[in-house]
Amino acid sequence: MKLVKHIANLGYGSRKQVQQMFRQGLVTDADGEVLYADDVVDHDAIRIEGEALDPAPGICLVLHKPAAYTCSTKDSGRLIYDLLPHRFRDRSPALSPVGRLDRDTTGMLLMTDDGALLHRIVSPKSRLDKRYVVELAEDLRGDEGAAFASGTLMLESEDKPLLPAELIVLGPRRAELVLHEGRYHQVKRMFAAVGNHVLTLHRSGVGGLRLDGLQEGQWRLLDAADLQQLFGSQD
């Protein structure tokens, strides 16, 4: 791929703007030698104003999503992209969330520009657990775990029962729920189905991956070892 297109695709500007950066001598190799738009150079050797390029396409990252951020590119309020380097919003292929978390939900959000990886993460065949910690408005009655594990619980306006899910009680109004599928507003609707109401919702893990000290609003790129952890023993 031509250097101009490669750099424009990473969100550094339109092709015209990137051409201009070449003309201004802002694009160099690692030794500071000015590069030209038709040079053939490895991604890792390119510098813009002395800085290494953002990672090449094929990334996956984990973001600890705070409340009040929307999983969208163009909502009017705070967006998950506001927590990432500004160029990440303009990358091609696009960097997309792997599934969505509600605006008020906190915790682990995966994002990738790799369509095959995204499909593999969300595919039921991968059987990746999603773990949520909830704070509830009402005390747990004691029969919710059995209802969630039954494989017969129906959500309102759906015609297919939920797959069995595990409930781990952490306190009178606090629990962890482990899901093996992802339906719209699933956790909130499950607790509504047993007469309760979710006050706060936090996703603590997906597959074998945990936030492991990543603070709210922070993100990090996943490497091959992280992906192996995500998919457990499948890799």
| Footprint on this chain of ligand URA (rule: CB under 6 A) | 101-102, 105, 185-188, 201
What's the CA dihedral at 106, 114, 126, 176 to 10 degrees? -10
Nearer to ligand URA, 49 or 75 (CB): 75
Nearer to ligand URA, 87 or 189 (CB): 189
Q: Give the bridge partners for 224, in sequence order.
A: none
Instruction: Give the nearest distance from C-beta 29 to ligand URA in angstroms.
Output: 45
Nearer to ligand URA, 21 or 128 (CB): 128
For residue 93, cis peptide bond before it (omega within 30 degrees of 0): yes
Task: Give me the helices (H) in the chain, please.
Answer: 3-7, 15-23, 115-122, 144-149, 186-193, 224-230
35 close to 41: Cβ distance less than 8 angstroms: yes
Nearer to ligand URA, 140 or 190 (CB): 190
How far apart CA 193 and CA 140 sit, in angstroms, is 13
Instruction: Give the nearest distance from C-beta 178 to ligand URA in angstroms.
Output: 12
- Pull the structure tokens for residue 187: 């956790």
Q: Which of 54, 102, 129, 226 is catalytic?
A: 102
Nearer to ligand URA, 21 or 71 (CB): 71
Instruction: Give the nearest distance from C-beta 145 to ligand URA in angstroms.
Output: 18
- Pull the structure tokens for residue 93: 């292929």
Residue 172 sits at φ, ψ, to 5 deg, of -60, -35
Burial class (CB in 10 A: 0-12, 13-18, 19+), 129: middle
Instruction: Give the nearest distance from C-beta 177 to ligand URA in angstroms.
Output: 9
- For residues 202-229, b (16+ Cβ closer than 10 Å) or e, as one string? bbebbbbbebeeeeeeebeebeeebbeb
Instruction: Give the nearest distance from C-beta 125 to ligand URA in angstroms.
Output: 20
Active-site residue, 102 included: yes
Which of the residues are catalytic?
A: 102
